[in-house]
Structure 1
Amino acid sequence: MTRRPVLALAAAVLAATPVLAAEPPAQGGLIVLHCPHLLDPAAGRLLGDSTVVIRDGRIQAVRPGTGSEPGARVVELTGQTCLPGLIDAHTHLTSETSPTGYTDQFRWNTADYAIRSTVYARRTLLAGFTTVRNLGDNANESIALRNAIDAGVVAGPRIFTAGVPIGSTGGHADPTDGYRQDLAGDPGPEEGIINSPADAWKAVRQHYKDGVDLIKIMPSGGVLDESASADNPQMTTEEIKAVVAAAHDYGFTVAAHAHGAEAIRRAVLAGVDSIEHGTFMDEDDMKLMKEHGTWFVPTIVAGKYVEQMAAKPGYYPPQVARKAKEVGPIIQATAGRAYKAGVKIAFGTDASVYPHGQNAKEFEYMVQAGMPPMYAIQAATTHAAALLHKPDELGQIRPGRRADVVAVPGNPLEDITALQRVSFVMKDGLIYKQDGKPL
């Protein structure tokens, strides 16, 4: 059974939604931002009154005090703190949680998901997230969404997408879990389902052909699929090694969804670049991750949300609700232990598991887990940029970087929830939100 319709369909649908089009505001060219405070995550400090000069989508200069440039448009950000555009390293922009989600998949076409994705992308951008990693979709529709955003057809964050996830038959990546036999079929490498190292190479090469930016694997069980386990290993070490070898040959990083300790161990030893969720991570896993330089993307907000929804009768199928109640109470404490152990942490939320646009709640949960506010912000800026292999492009307000700038009222180092009230959003030198209002 295929879940890969022609990508041109999704692209055409995206192109046919002018109501969401990102009309390039009367901007561009030369812009000067006056920031009463400027947060520099690379230096780990909050600067005072600063002037940011932007020319043609790039940061040209950052100067102390208030200044201007001849012919520049000046934007006053009175009472606000400027910081680099935020990066969410774990999103799913082409779907969103719903009590009807498990039946919608039998009624909706790829075009339905594609159209809704334009709304979710815009919400994410207006929440201050100018870049995301999209770690899994149903039919590569996130590739079409990425292309439409890059072309200026719709408003949204810069997307690095993995397309469909790679996993094993019956595992968390298998889109036919829970289907009756005549509908389930036997998905293979073209759909991201592998059962051998040879299948792994085929799947990665198919992803390269499809035009992804990175690879996402599912070496453990998960919460929201209709199988029994959230944490059992679901890929062999040899299969994971094959995916990593193929991916690295093609210049891809590999993100590994892994809740269980054994799946985490296998993925780290096989050379993946990041562990996502990591709920049941143990001390040995943390030691291995430090030794191998493996990134950790906790997604606390997703765990909190599924735990909350599992208490609502009928929101999830019974087996999903059971797993949500197991994972939800643990994930935040694991993130706190990983931070104290010195594991590298990048910001990610698993957006779509909770409603899009609420990404910044993750900061609050990270701080509650014991991370300093500056570290939590670094996780969504310099750390996430390093995970993306884009430290010279993203995550800092420095000359030469992309002009991705957001602002919040007050001081987020004193009140981390200020990041849930983003008042100004600029991406690539274009302003999408000012004075708290979308443009």
Structure 2
Amino acid sequence: METLIKNVNILNPNEEIQTSCNVLIEDKHIKQISKKKVSTKNNVKIIDGQDNYLMPGFIDCHAHIMANGFHKEENMANPLALHFYNAIKHGKQTVDAGVTTIKDCGPADIGVKIAQKKGLFIAPKMEISVTPLVSTGGHFDLFLPSGFDMEIVYPGFPKGRCDGPLEVLKKTREIKRAGADFIKVMASGGVLTTNTSPDYPQFNVEELKTIVEEAHVNDLKVSAHCHSLKGINNCVDTGFDSIE
């Protein structure tokens, strides 16, 4: 199947803008870009670009496709299945915004990724972390002062709370087993969790080093949620791949 996009401007970050182009696509691959008339098959689908811009898809390096904000009251009251339907809505919105790949930093699981790959709903290509590693009492430890634990629990979705080198090692392996493409670590406090502060690091250097070594052995990148300068330095020193 061929598709011809006529009268479109090509925006490539590495080149000058190419104006008034024709772009021929065959079987989802760009076959030809030309300012001249392009020869096509008889059953070609023609789209008039109307002098608009055609560019590569954006990559969103920090997304939460299943989350509809982080509101404790709503999360406590709503059934777990609602989060998966959020992914359907947010996936379409993300694609419509020109984003074709996302790095989902939780809580999308392997089932959401498989559903997208099978075309069961419209969404960008996904790299997933499933659930973040969190220290007891740290950011995203959802055990509330009331004694209620808001941590998501269902088969295939490991708990992320862990402390000490042995526990973080096991949790890293569990998250890999759950289908994660990368490991996300809460390396400092945040603003949404009770009794934590963005100014202070979480996990010590030995714990962070253990996480990174185990992830890298398995060809997984490690991403940090981190605000504090001390936490950022700890992540740099222990070999994190990204800090967000």
TM-score normalised by length of structure 1: 0.51
Give the direction of change, closer, same or farther, for the CA distance of 1:239–1:249 in structure 2 (3 Å limit): same
Taking structure 1 as reference, are residues 259 and 110 closer, same or farther at Cα in structure 2, changes over 3 Å only?
same
Distance 2:151 2:169 in 1: 18
Q: In 1, distance between residues paired with 2:171 and 2:105?
A: 15
Counterpart for residue 180 of structure 1: 146
Q: Look up the equivalent residue of 2:95 and give its one-letter code.
A: L
Which residue in the other structure is 1:171 paired with?
138
Is residue 188 of structure 2 the alignment partner of residue 227 of structure 1? Answer: no
Residue correspondence of structure 1 range 79-94 to structure 2 within 5 A: 79-94=51-66
Q: Which residue of 2 is the match for residue 207 of structure 1?
A: 175
Show the counterpart of 1:60. Answer: 31
Decide whether the 8 Å contact of 1:257 with 1:275 is kept in 2: yes
Q: Which has the higher contact order (CA 8 A, sep 6+)?
A: 1
Provide, for residues 188-239 of structure 1, a one-character-per-residue CA deviation record: whole Å limited to 9, x for no partner.
x941122112112211111111111111111111122223312310111111
- Tell me the amino acid that sits aligned with residue 240 of structure 1: L
SS in 1 for 2:126: strand
Partners of 2:122 and 2:151 lie apart in 1 by 37
Is residue 2:84 matched to residue 1:117? no
CA pair 237-37 structure 1, distance change in 2 beyond 3 A: same
* Equivalent position amino acid for 2:16 in 1: R
Partners of 1:126 and 1:76 in 2: CA distance? 18
Q: Which residue of 2 aligns with 1:162?
A: 129
* Aligned mates of 1:91, 1:257 — CA distance in 2: 12
Q: Judge conservation of contact 2:59–2:99 (CA < 8 Å) in 1.
A: yes
> Deviation per CA, 1:382-401, whole angstroms, max 9, x where unpaired?
xxxxxxxxxxxxxxxxxxxx
Structure 1 stretches lacking a partner, 5+ long: 1-28, 277-439
Using the TM superposition, give the Cα deviation of residue 35 of structure 1 relative to its aligned residue in structure 2, in angstroms: 4.6
Contact 1:90 1:133 in 2 (8 A): yes
Cα 1:157–1:190 shift into 2, 3 Å: closer
For residues 90 and 19 of structure 2, what CA distance do their matches in structure 1 show? 34
Structure 2 unaligned runs (5+)? none
Q: Which residue of 2 aligns with 1:192?
A: 160
What is aligned with 2:45? 73
What is the aligned partner in structure 2 of residue 50 from structure 1?
A: 21
CA distance in 1, matches of 2:126, 2:232: 26
Q: Tell me: CA distance 1:85–1:210, structure 2 relative to 1, closer, same or farther (3 Å).
A: same
Indicate conservation of the 8 Å contact 1:68/1:74, yes or no: no
Aligned to 2:4: 32
Aligned AA (1:180):
S
In the superposition, relative to structure 1, how do residues 251 and 64 fare at CA in structure 2: closer, same or farther (>3 Å)? Answer: farther
Out of 231, 234, 241, the residue aligned to residue 266 of structure 1 is 234
CA–CA distance in structure 2, aligned partners of residues 152 and 40 of structure 1: 28
User: 1:216 maps to what in 2?
Assistant: 184
Cα offset, 1:186, TM superposition:
10
Q: 1:32–1:68: 8 Å Cα contact kept in structure 2?
A: no
- Cα distance change, pair 45–241 in 1 and its aligned pair in 2 (3 A): farther
RMSD: 2.1
State how far apart, in whole Å, the 1-side matches of 2:238 and 2:151 are. 27
- The offset of 1:63, in angstroms, is 2.9
Please say if residues 89 and 133 of structure 1, whose CA atoms lie closer than 8 Å, have aligned partners that are also in contact.
yes
- AA aligned opposite 2:102: V
Q: What residue is the counterpart of 1:96 in the other structure?
A: 68
2:10, 2:233 → 1: CA distance? 40
Please state how far the C-alpha of 1:150 moved relative to its aligned partner: 0.8
Task: Give the number of equivalent residue pairs.
Answer: 239
Q: Residues of 1 paired with 2:165 and 2:106: CA distance?
A: 21
User: Could you report, residue by residue, the CA deviation over 1:81-100 in whole angstroms, capped at 9, with x for unpaired residues?
Assistant: 110011111000111227xx
Query: What is aligned with 1:289?
Result: none
Change (3 A) 1:68 1:224: farther
Maintained 8 Å contact 2:139/2:196? no
Structure with the larger strand share: 2
Relative to its length, the structure with more helix (as a share) is: 1
Distance in structure 2 (CA, Å) of the matches to 1:238 and 1:35: 57
> Which structure 2 residues correspond to residues 327-346 of structure 1 after superposition, within 5 A?
none
Q: Is the 8 A contact 2:187 2:224 kept in 1?
A: yes
SS of the aligned residue for 2:136 comes to coil
Deviation of 1:64 after TM superposition, in Å, equals: 3.6
Runs of 4+ in 1 over 6 A off after TM superposition: none
The Cα shift of 1:174 comes to 1.5
- Do the aligned partners of 1:190 and 1:202 also contact (CA within 8 Å) in 2? no
Do the aligned partners of residues 226 and 70 (structure 1) sit closer, same or farther apart at CA in structure 2, a change above 3 Å counting? same
